Structure 1
């Protein structure tokens, strides 16, 4: 039952868009509530076999508490109530998966779901663009694959499909290295994930893929170095990363042209400037306007930020979005939570013998890079992935592990 619920939870998070399009928000909420009820029943039945003390990281709890506190000063309290309930629901899904399954079982569950989702996306795009030559709006298929236009079937946008494809590529590579799936299936799955990444034609996804590939190579090197030399190597990698970030800042123009991302960047810069101006006008820089998650553009202040020519339901940057909704305090909590989770995951990837421990680190890198140009990490599938990585990293490297009661 735990395996079935974990797989169902991942599938529901990955397929929120088509489910909402097909059965509406009432149907999606009903499915989510039913899933949480079954997970709660399973958790209670297995409570004696689950060790959760010291697992829930304080950084995650602090962030969720601050988001809940924003209800007090929110300018749209009913929307904040709904946004908090939605955030908590996917937090609980991630919590159950992290508690009930070990890392390799989680990887296998992600692999099973994402294989179906990506193959389904490609099939829908081929059906829409070549067979019937007409878009299928309810499923996100625009029918442009025959003209080499971006694809986004089963998701709301090409960057969302790219996120699923990058997570899938990391997962399939982990399955291949751990030999948990037959080699032929793993290679075919990686091919499908690569095809989805390419056909999104997204400079953001392309950049994230390059960073993840470089990080994976570094993890491979760290794992091959003798234990006594790893600390020095980690410091060298940290130094090189800082130098690379500084160089990337000064060379941002050529990099943007390389990925053909000038239009994407200009739109985001204009949006961020409007957000900064709105924050200054309302005087909410410290505490934010109140949590909402994905924007509801029919209510202020989001109605004044939405562009008629290119509508958006996020700030297209997770850090800007958190600052806008939860203020400077929320931004500090969010950045600390993400940084701590990544640090723990990276250290685990280098210390543990099994290659499966590299999966959370690679996922965190992908989410971190994409969060600079998208706000996906704040809700639904990406948030669930983050919660799983956060809990697994805390489980292995939490200072509160010493407080656990000894088992007999």
Structure 2
């Protein structure tokens, strides 16, 4: 490394995509974000790779449909920390980016990184995220806070004009492990069961839909995924009271039987669902949550193509994840193959031949991105068990 490329004392130089970022030398991914001055999480690099590709695809759509020039599209990275997410958008997508953080030391580092990358289309500000979101409109709003995004969803929904990106790392409340916390934060009842990861994603989407509807806005999920310790949503903003009303039609409730695993979903915000299952056991109810599609298939295809063109460290896992999302059936909720096999006291067969049996019988059957043993199908539970036993 040339002397001029050496980072300043106390910093390390990190490269993601085509962007170089200075991070504190003492950065420790094991320390919670809230307890350090400026935090960089290398484990989220794939998330950021997908974010750059997804934003690039969406910006291309805006240019095509609205005739916007890149420099006139403003992107807000509301919780910037080291600035890596917003800096990559400015550098690799080429749109105008505002990087915000409430910590002055973070903003000072962001400014160093703007200079490091010679970015003329990026600026750093030091404000409370809600204040900034309430005061200004941005074409694209991205909120990736430490923990729950819930306190910021209202302001983000008001501010975002075309696209809202949301990351939630508070999976325990979202997925029902911390039930009361989830109810307080998201105004919904989650369930903690074998499909809790999808539960959390749909609870978050439902909350986003209700928040945007307050401002006569609807949403269309372009890409949504649950990965390890977080869930991530890219939601296109649709304007008008009519679009908001149409969006709310995708909200509803789930009744799930812990005894026989039977599920029933019903759309609406005021529905009646019996607590008694056909098997005689008591069902558990969850919602309101999102029952509509989790992604747009063409958008996913375009993101995969964009990832292919980019120099990325996490290209292959990013493509694999988006491909899984693209091919996943639009059915709530997934089943876990191993749970059925444990009940039937059999070894789990290879999942693809099993799914092909269901498809041959005339049912929808796909793998999902949630786990290697999860699948979605419209087949009745008795039919699922029958095919596993064949």
Into which bin does the TM-score normalised by the smaller protein fall?
A: under 0.3
Report the structure, 1 or 2, having the larger helix content.
Answer: 1
Q: Which has the higher contact order (CA 8 A, sep 6+)?
A: 1
Scaled by the length of structure 2, the TM-score of the pair is 0.22
Report the structure, 1 or 2, having the larger strand content.
Answer: 2
